[in-house]
Amino acid sequence: MAAIEEAGRRQARKLSLRVLGPNTGARRLYESCGFTVEGVLRGEFLLDGDLVDDILMAYFYHPKQNV
Mean pLDDT per 10-residue segment, the chain (67 residues): 88 95 97 97 97 97 65
- 31 residue type, one letter: E
Tell me, what CATH number does 55's domain have? 3.40.630.30
Q: Identify which of 46, 47, 44, 54 has the alpha carbon closest to the alpha carbon of residue 18.
A: 54
> Is 65 within a domain?
no
Q: Are strands 50-60 and 36-47 parallel, antiparallel or unpaired?
A: antiparallel
Q: So what's the pLDDT on residue 1?
A: 78
What domain count does the chain have? 1
Q: Please state the three-class secondary structure of the chain as a single string.
A: CHHHHHHHHCCCCEEEEEEECCCHHHHHHHHHCCCEEEEEEEEEEEECCEEEEEEEEEEECCCCCCC
Q: So what's the pLDDT on residue 66?
A: 53
Containing domain of residue 6, as a range?
2-60
